[in-house]
Structure 1
């Protein structure tokens, strides 16, 4: 383990854990306290929004009404984002004159951004107009993240309240989380990114001169623009030369800020956070990594305050941190090893002043292995999916780490809101297991965990493995699914497994060796993203409604403490147990087999 990585990890956690308690208290007050002084600036606008929307902020909802509001709002979002993509050629702020996005790609992208997945089967700078990037994609970055925050607050109210029939008002939760949490943080972060060189403009794309002209081959075409074929029917190429390059412009910093803070991950550019216009410096890289975990970590403290026991939030945060640190160290250690394809060559793989050492394939030299491995772990521990390197070029085990983090259910910090409500589901499972071991009715935060809660827990935990494994099976067995695989054998299987793990768990990152912008994958992954989001949200809200209606029991001498080291170990064990038992066979066919094959697999054409 390099000292550079350990130092960066320590610095990252120190800043994150120092800031999270203060932000957590602010979020709790902003969401729950209508007289909070720090949100006074926005209350006139908040009241105006309620009047325009016909919302009665004092009228709370039962869980079914809350769930209907969540699904209806997000369905409207799918329609709006799809429509904007299909008519973008007729709309302004389109300096490159991009036409309509194809129906299957537009559908996939609409579902992707509405579900906070932000899977991208397209290249943003050659597909989307500025208006589409802002009005469709960036807006959904805000409201999809706000949906996650709203749902987790509904669940927390279920634990905090007793004998209650309501869990809050979705429209109020959406408004406050957007207005008081996401928007101010995004403004601050966007300015910080602009200071580092992230672009923010509405200019047309610019042609710039190259230091040295580039010579290349291109297909030869006839006067009608048709490719010229030789006697064997193969395309004829001709030499070409250029002394300029076209640089894409656009309002990048504003989208980059909410992309990270909302754990969205959808990049303005195809290269995402590996692009120098999105992530130009080491400091911008650190800012972006901190932004991904900032709200998920802070919500743990919001949870502790709302249930009137801050130790509960600290225990959940500790479990997340333990798994994260272990996974980050595994990824860094793997990437610091030599690339397997070069293992038999007379090459010195050690780090020196002239070379980074280890596996630098697919990584930006300005970040190196330490910052890249940490970024990859963070973005897949959270349901962010932003990347500053090509995950497809990681070593077998290095690539298995982000894949497994997604397969654990995106609960290791996880997405904004979704990470915490996912981990609270595992907390319910942990106390149920403990109750079976000691022969007591399980309780969590004074609420008895009974058959109904366990049924909802089972649905929430098992739906994503079902989607991942079933979807992977369909892709592997179908000709259309196999057609997108360009890498043979175990790595090609890993690419499919990664794609379905990413979509079903609403992450959005990809190995990217899979050609997924096809009708087959656009529809398959869209279905995985939609059901992976809302087949979890609905049982979460049902559990919230059930818990809110229960009486809160006082702790007794026989109550199991859920704030100490023992509970942290039990919670970590529950997360790892479910992930291991569910995905080990699939992982054995992919990254594990690839690792065991070693240089033979890596050198395959």
Structure 2
């Protein structure tokens, strides 16, 4: 009975809480001044922060990532000479350190390493945890810029990157993470400075301990996903009880769902936000039921599953973590049936817009919404307008760039990896699924992987690192350029000839555009991977 109510309760709580927190975020990001903010303003500015145009905003974002990434790379490379390294762990090789650095500054948290055995406590706390906050804060900041720009009229400046980042981190992410960390500690998630334990009193099998709860909280809240332990939230020190499992699972989608209403509040389009929310929710529900019933019909796939959690809990986690750009796991995705694994891959191929990452899911969805308006205008003969702004060739070029750049990385990266015969251990269509999953995860800034894919090679580290950069910054650049262009146009009054954005019809059209665009891009390769494997397994052929 409890399992039957689990999914409806989860969805109901998400619908109930998200609008209120979205409005809170909008208030924080658009407030004139906040308590304690004066110290920050005096540190960077002589007075109030100056508003920035698109070019200035992007320059600030670039320098922030360059400096933060350089610091993290040095921490990972030379962790052997830094403090808080009780297990005497060596510094990372340069290519793995570069891959990990890119992974965390892009909010991907792809892990080509095992956290407890290859990272010191100093690297986890001082290197990775701040990036968990800051990369998520960047996503919220970009969404705030885009939201302000779209509804502005004949303006060029739409906020200050540093102020948006400060507010996102210290007034939104940090308080929620502290609360979640306390709740996780109450459930037995470890948060300690103690030395590693020794199994059965020996010194041959150390069991690492450390400040895990604090990192787990922000890895979930910030849709980062990088686990303190190698097996992520399948580890009993990281996720010990059904209650901790629900807290972590709800944290994956809580802020991404709230970002939809943040967008609605800033753009003053409450009904439009609900339409977008239910588009995302519909995709999530369809994905969950596809995974659940595929697993229900394949009861023999137990290897790699955490039996402490029910089928509903595991299926919902897989659906939520690949719908968002989270990447955390409470069971190994390589162990799922081919159809369930294929759903996970396809959700990542959707550019992580089924709620998606913190901020990133909503501003990625904006590109699909603009494409929907443009295509609808072509079909009906109406002038394509979004919030009273004409959609012209400039906006469509950048929109297609933002949508297609990650797609190109997925397909070309997969093709080259097959020719190089690099990283995959399986045979047949499952080998293709392993590679496809890896490049979809990197390009979608997700971070999870099929267990059989060996990513810690020179090609794996560099190619996946490149895809993470493209997946993150091509979308950011495109959506900022589109929003800034719209912000510079005069807002026209709505008329009977305009296409309404707050109707069920618009929701259906947007849903269709998302599925068709991604389906046409990826169906051939999906047919050769998870779909073919599903057919062959039903015929008794295994890999």
Short-chain TM bin: over 0.9
**What is the match of residue 30 of structure 1?**
28
Distance 1:592 1:454 in 2: 33
**What is the match of residue 518 of structure 1?**
457
The answer to whether the 8 Å contact 2:80/2:88 transfers is yes
> Residues 112-511 of structure 1 correspond to what in structure 2 (within 5 A)?
112-209=103-200, 245-338=205-298, 357=299, 359-478=301-420, 482-511=421-450
RMSD: 1.6
Distance 2:4 2:106 in 1: 34
Q: Is the radius of gyration larger for structure 1 or structure 2? A: 1
Distance 2:489 2:304 in 1: 53
The answer to whether the 8 Å contact 2:229/2:235 transfers is yes
The answer to whether the 8 Å contact 1:407/1:465 transfers is yes
Q: Which runs of 4+ in 1 moved over 4 A?
A: 3-6, 242-245, 599-602
Any idea what the Cα deviations from partners look like across 1:305-332, whole Å, max 9, x if unmatched?
1112210111110100011100110001
The answer to whether the 8 Å contact 2:445/2:472 transfers is yes
Superposition deviation, residue 403 in structure 1: 0.4
2:259 aligned counterpart, secondary structure:
helix
Superposition deviation, residue 377 in structure 1: 0.4
Long gaps (5+) in structure 1: 211-241, 339-356
Superposition deviation, residue 4 in structure 1: 6.2
2:200 aligned counterpart, secondary structure:
strand
Distance 1:278 1:253 in 2: 7
The answer to whether the 8 Å contact 2:29/2:164 transfers is yes
Long gaps (5+) in structure 2: none
Any idea what the Cα deviations from partners look like across 1:228-252, whole Å, max 9, x if unmatched?
xxxxxxxxxxxxxx89742210100
The answer to whether the 8 Å contact 2:145/2:480 transfers is yes
Any idea what the Cα deviations from partners look like across 1:458-493, whole Å, max 9, x if unmatched?
101101110100111111111xxx242211111011
Superposition deviation, residue 358 in structure 1: 5.5
**What is the match of residue 344 of structure 1?**
none
**What is the match of residue 560 of structure 1?**
499
Any idea what the Cα deviations from partners look like across 1:123-153, whole Å, max 9, x if unmatched?
0100111111011110000000001111111
The answer to whether the 8 Å contact 2:283/2:354 transfers is yes
Q: TM-score, normalised by structure 1?
A: 0.88
Any idea what the Cα deviations from partners look like across 1:347-389, whole Å, max 9, x if unmatched?
xxxxxxxxxx553332111112110010000000000000110
Distance 1:140 1:171 in 2: 15
2:199 aligned counterpart, secondary structure:
strand
Higher helix share: 2
Distance 2:542 2:500 in 1: 53
Match of 2:9 among 4, 11, 36: 11
Any idea what the Cα deviations from partners look like across 1:242-298, whole Å, max 9, x if unmatched?
897422101000000000000000000000010111111111111111111111111
Distance 2:210 2:388 in 1: 52
The answer to whether the 8 Å contact 2:41/2:49 transfers is no
Distance 2:540 2:356 in 1: 32
Superposition deviation, residue 58 in structure 1: 3.3
Superposition deviation, residue 47 in structure 1: 2.2
Distance 2:522 2:150 in 1: 31
The answer to whether the 8 Å contact 1:336/1:359 transfers is no
